[in-house]
Structure 1
Amino acid sequence: MARERATALLMDFDGVLRQWDPAVAAGVEREYGLSEGVLGEIAMQWGRLQPVLTGQVSHAEWVTSVADALTPSLGSPERARAAVEEWQRYRGEVDVEVLAFIRQVRAAGVRVGLGTNATDLLDADLASLGLTDEFDVVVNSAVVGVHKPAPEYFQAACEALETSPSRVLFVDDEDRAVSGARAAGLSAHRWGGPSDLRYLRAALAY
């Protein structure tokens, strides 16, 4: 049986619309004499990351926990805090092709949501990147209290979009999120880069 055509789009943020230059973290690590990749390794440890992605702790508390974990390597809490704050000052870059696509889709009457595992800093990030008014809805895991790929997350996203799951097209760069969306009844596409935009335009038929 053919799927219903999507009438709403749910876009991931990091790795799709927002890109991160790895040279920034590498530069901080070199400046402070840290081993390559250690900032990301510590920050993304699931026991540390999961609470901030579900709103149990704030972004500021998460940053403090990363600095605390770095303190033994850097010799002082002040130096660890300075390193983490310098790293966190960089808030990524917008992929202009993806943003143009989102604007075109909305102009054609398709509802577009931002669906992201994020912290309570998301609204400030959207503002600083000039993205505050670019979506019909923003579905932040830290606000919802559950993160992708949980079915409850996608249920909340579809409710926010006021669209049934079968009519929502979800785009993400992580396999687990894509699989979770499909299990929740959404159409889902694994993002490979801006070359995928032609396919997405066809899928939405706008």
Structure 2
Amino acid sequence: MTVRAVVFDIGGVLEINDDSAFPDPWCQRHGIAVERLDAALDSIPGDAVVGQVTMEQVLDHLGERLSLTEVQAIEWERDYWRWYVGILDRPLFEWFAGLRGRGLKVGILSNSGPGAREQEAVWGFEDVTDVLIYSHEVGLRKPDRAVYDLTAAKLSVEPEEIVFLDDKQLCVDGARAAGWQAVLHVDTQTSIAELEALLG
């Protein structure tokens, strides 16, 4: 069947995240072991990725568990968003942004946390897509079948008419189980070549 829509993930695909930039430098500055931070994050009651927790609640929880000062909490949030938003993969973004001009519908499907839409607005994703779905806003996350079905419905296309790009094998597998065609992102050049082959 002819491809009518292309859907991308964001983090690790359109955005390049430098894992060395966070959280290690913040932890080193404030004398907090990374393991303690990880444990505090793991103990948050609720799943931020499906909208059960706000960023304010995350910060309050970290502040309580790690005895953070207001300045430390502010710096944690600042550094977190710098890492989360990352650096735009401009060649891939420009290819992606040109798809609507080729008569295709374009979407983004991202597992996300509270504040992601606002922070990532700097890259202009909403300007180049027909559908932009953040998991924390819809209460569903990849690889749940329901979030792929929701995306297809919002794009008004059949599942088999969608090509998807994600850097997580689990999410690629979830897309294929939902009837989508899907590519595992490894690098920009390879992904564009594989997507072009599927677009014909």
Q: Does 1:171 align with 2:171?
A: no
Given the alignment, which residue of 19, 22, 38 partners 1:22?
A: 19
- Tell me which stretches of 4 or more aligned residues in structure 1 moved more than 4 Å: 36-39
**What does the per-residue CA deviation read over 1:32-73, in whole Å, with 9 as the maximum and x for residues that have no partner?**
12335765x34763x6496211112223322333343333xx
Consecutive unaligned residues of structure 1, counting only runs of 5 or more, are none
Aligned CA RMSD, in angstroms, stands at 2.3
Find the residue that maps to 1:22 and give its secondary structure: coil
**What is residue 191 of structure 1 aligned with on the other side?**
185
Select the residue among 5, 8, 23 that pairs with 1:8.
5
- How big is each residue's C-alpha offset from its partner over 1:128-152, in whole Å with a ceiling of 9 and x where there is no partner? 2333312111011112211110000
The whole-number CA distance in structure 2 between the counterparts of 1:200 and 1:167 is 13
Report the equivalent of 2:123. Answer: 129
Counterpart of 1:31? 29
Displacement, 1:24?
Answer: 2.2
State how many pairs are aligned: 196
What are the superposed Cα offsets for residues 55-108 of structure 1, whole Å, 9 maximum, x if unpaired? 12223322333343333xxxx443652442232241322110110111222211
TM-score of the superposed pair, with normalisation by structure 2: 0.86
Deviation at 1:12, TM superposition (A): 0.4
**What do residues 127-181 of structure 1 show as CA deviations (whole Å, max 9, x unaligned)?**
2233331211101111221111000010001011111101111111111111111
- Gapped regions of structure 2 (runs ≥ 5): none
Q: Distance in 1 between matches of 2:169 and 2:97?
A: 26
Q: Which amino acid aligns with 2:49?
A: L
CA spacing shift, 1:153–1:49, aligned 2, 3 Å: farther
Q: Distance in 2 between matches of 1:166 and 1:89?
A: 35
**Partners of 2:9 and 2:110 within 8 A in 1:** yes
Out of 56, 60, 63, which is 2:59 matched to?
63
TM-score normalised by structure 1 residue count: 0.84
Contact in 1 for aligned 2:140/2:147 (Cα 8 Å): yes
